[in-house]
Chains A and B, each alone.
Chain A
């Protein structure tokens, strides 16, 4: 049923339709509305039986989920930013133990400086923790991916992170087609764990493993992720059959036919990019886009197939590998290594910097003329950077960078939107 609904609430409703048995949460913006809505549903009995546990930290949130999942309960939590880092040890642990926890990451920047706005630094920091990582383009996809995540994770005994852009999606109120319980039940079978803590059949989970078998355990985790590459398109197809709309999958190509330039991105910025692509196509530009839904495992073959015909690829990403450049771009470059395609890295939208159509138009036109550096920071205030660099050159005790820059920027309320 179509509803005009906040992204967080829509996701909470979708999660509830998946009948989680244990939900644990620690508040952090911009994830909070999701678990607040779930708390309401547990409290009112709409979601029952389900244990909602208010924990003392994100580390505990995921640890509770680990215990619950190992006991055979379908377990869910949500976090963002510093919260994801605070639970990092448990993030790796859940994957290593093979527990199919589903976790929403309401993507947000990492401090310092502290910043509550959106970028992908949090999920990227944990990209190699062994979780499947899905990125939602809009709130409809966020809803759909959560339902697919439980199915996928439980089939493979792997945890799944569903990433949705903080504020941009979590706090956006838009039209979402919310599935019925019958649809979700038809799609998502009850959780049948491969390992469970049960006195009837005692097992030890989490034993120490030495050099004699550790590599093999890790290899199997990798092999499972490779298996996900095969299962995800299949599950997306089954999803379409039951829910009547395409959703999920590895990556989505948009007007890439005959495109000499293809823009690659993840998450909500794809919407803005598509609008720009339409306008540029209208003006005769041979440009298209590829939205990557699945970041881990990295769908190399699908990406090569989608980008093969392009002359250049512009990877626009909301994350920065400091000292290297792009993260998504590095992965795309690796996928395209054997092909004669120029790859440009564009770092954009860090800490909530708006990615505007105007900037994208200019950027893509420069790319078409091969007038881009291999690494570009979109809408970087170079004057601001230069001032700070000058200050640091001028005196040793130049002070805290963030404070200096804010002073240089001046009153921000006047341009707060």
Chain B
């Protein structure tokens, strides 16, 4: 079972991201379970959503305490919330930021973490450009697909088509493709 925890703020589409990830996994014939952190958080408050993916039915209902991957949609949470809590050794970390790890004050903390397992993506910037709205969830999802190889870009694209329509769908598609290729090149750099 692969477990993903998504951190963000209310209004950033954190729950939607988890649901789309589950949808993409479902489209690839796998079992998936997405659920929010069940709060009554308002816009701007820290929120968490979860997604489990497996090849057999998922029965467990506990929150994800030992994630295989983290998507951090809002870097301002890094020093407010224990985002990295329970992350498995060498787990994937994808942070939405235009800054470097050093600028985020994480370089020392993550010094031992494999370079290809901790990546940044300026998803808000991509979303603003491609979608016209600061919604980083879809580009991050595509970036996550590129980073982990857990789901294919096509599945993300299909989930976008199922979830959105018209201009929003088109903008998100463009954002997803750009994010996907950007993360692929980041990975290449990390492996060099």
Do any beta carbons of A and B sit within 8 angstroms of each other in the complex?
Answer: yes
> A: which residues have CB within 8 A of B?
2, 4, 6, 29-30, 116-118, 138, 165, 167-168, 171-175, 268-272, 274-275, 352, 354-358, 413-417
Using CB atoms, name the residue of chain B closest to A358: B65
B38 touches A118 (CB 8 A): yes
Which residues in window 12-56 of B have CB below 8 A to A? 18-19, 22-23, 26-27, 31-40, 45-48, 50
Chain B residue numbers with a CB within 8 Å of A356 are 62-63, 65
Interface pair B61/A173, CB less than 8 Å apart = no
Output the least CB separation between A316 and chain B (Å).
Answer: 13
A332 to chain B, nearest CB (A): 22
Interfacial chain B residues near A357, Cβ < 8 Å: 60, 62
Contacts of B80 in A (CB 8 A): 413-414
Q: Which residues of B contact A29 (CB under 8 A)?
A: 40
* B82 in contact (CB, < 8 A): yes
Q: What residues of chain A lie closer than 8 Å to B32, measured between beta carbons? A: 4, 173-175
**Bound form: Cα–Cα A58–B21 in Å:** 35
A271 touches B38 (CB 8 A): no
Sampled A-B contacts (25; CB under 8 Å): A4-B26, A4-B32, A116-B38, A116-B40, A118-B38, A165-B61, A167-B35, A172-B33, A172-B34, A174-B22, A175-B57, A268-B61, A269-B61, A271-B58, A271-B61, A272-B61, A357-B60, A413-B45, A414-B81, A414-B82, A416-B39, A416-B47, A417-B5, A417-B48, A417-B85
Interface of A (DSSP majority class): mixed
A354-B63, A357-B62, A417-B50 known; 16 other A-B pairs, CB under 8 Å?
A: A4-B23, A167-B35, A167-B36, A172-B33, A173-B19, A173-B23, A173-B32, A174-B34, A175-B57, A271-B59, A271-B60, A272-B60, A355-B61, A356-B65, A413-B46, A417-B5
| Number of B interface residues in the complex (CB < 8 A) | 35
Interface residues of B (CB under 8 A from A): 5, 18-19, 22-23, 26-27, 31-40, 45-48, 50, 57-65, 80-82, 85
Assembly CA distance A175 to B48 (angstroms): 21
Is A415 within 8 A of B82, CB to CB?
A: yes
Task: Select from chain B the residue with minimum beta-carbon distance to A267.
Answer: B61
> Would you call A167 and B38 a contact (CB within 8 A)?
yes
Q: Who on chain A is nearest to B25 by CB?
A: A4
Query: Do the beta carbons of A168 and B61 come within 8 Å of each other?
Result: yes
Bound-complex Cα distance A358 to B40 (A): 27
Question: What is the bound-complex CA distance between A354 and B45, given in angstroms?
Answer: 21
Q: When the two chains form their complex, are residues A138 and B19 in contact, meaning their CB atoms are under 8 A apart?
A: no
Which residues in B have their C-beta under 8 angstroms from that of A168?
A: 35, 38, 61
Which residue of the partner chain A has the closest CB to B24?
A: A4
Contact B48 A173 (CB under 8 A): no
Give min CB distance, B93 to chain A, whole Å.
16
Contacts A138-B59, A354-B62, A357-B62; A171 near B23 (Cβ below 8 A): no
A358 to B65, CA, bound (A): 10
